[in-house]
Amino acid sequence: METVGRWTAITVITPVPVWWDATLRANFRRLARRRRRGRRSQIMSDLERLSFISFAHWSPVRLPSGRYLVFQSNFNGAAKQYVEAFARIVTWGMRGLWWGAIGVPGPLPVAPFEAYIMDQRLPVDHYYCAYPEASTKMVRAALELRERHASLERRLSDLDDAAFAAAVRTFLAHNQRVI
């Protein structure tokens, strides 16, 4: 059950050699420091262009059988399109995450990379989402609208009927994009 409502879950665990595990950990620490300082990395900006992702995580892990990179994400739509968008839009980011991993083709050309991810993704045994019928875009729009609505409500109580109606109609017209 890898889908719930509009959402799809993907989980891929890729073996990595010791040197790549160390490289990833160092890179993740560097990215975390940049984030704490409020600085944005190119990979973050690129990934945020993929507006169908709610959460995506890459984590290094050490197990008795070896070292691995755990990738997991929640996104809207079909897994194939998701992987293709990743490969095309975040090409350098994907190289930076999987370049040293064992058996992972480069993100371009897309077909071998897509085939690898589709083949290696693990079947989801149980998947839960708190808002299954809303996409990432819908959630972002709703949160934006909620903020603007709160601001409008603070102003409405002081208005007479005509001004109230005008304010509400203006609000609706200005927020068509997120309604």
DSSP H or E stretch at residue 157: none
| CB-based contact 95:45 (threshold 8 Å) | no
Quote the CA–CA distance of 85 and 56 in Å, as a whole number: 14
Quote the CA–CA distance of 175 and 158 in Å, as a whole number: 22
Q: Which is nearer to other proteins, 61 or 78 (CB)?
A: 61
- The residue assigned the tokens 């996104």 is 75
Q: Which is nearer to other proteins, 114 or 121 (CB)?
A: 121
Q: What are phi and psi of 142, to 5 degrees?
A: -65, -40
In the bound complex, what is the minimum distance in angstroms from residue 58's beta carbon to other proteins?
5
Residues between 63 and 92 with contacts to other proteins, criterion CB under 8 A: 63-70, 72, 74
Q: Which of 22, 56, 100, 14 is nearest to 30 (CA)?
A: 22
Asked if 123 is part of the footprint of other proteins (rule: CB under 8 A), the reply reads yes
Asked if 7 is part of the footprint of other proteins (rule: CB under 8 A), the reply reads yes
Asked if 136 is part of the footprint of other proteins (rule: CB under 8 A), the reply reads yes
From 19, 48, 88, 115, residue interacting with other proteins (rule: CB under 8 A): 48
Name the segment binding other proteins (CB under 8 A); options: 8-16, 77-85, 105-113.
8-16
From 153, 155, 170, 174, residue interacting with other proteins (rule: CB under 8 A): 153
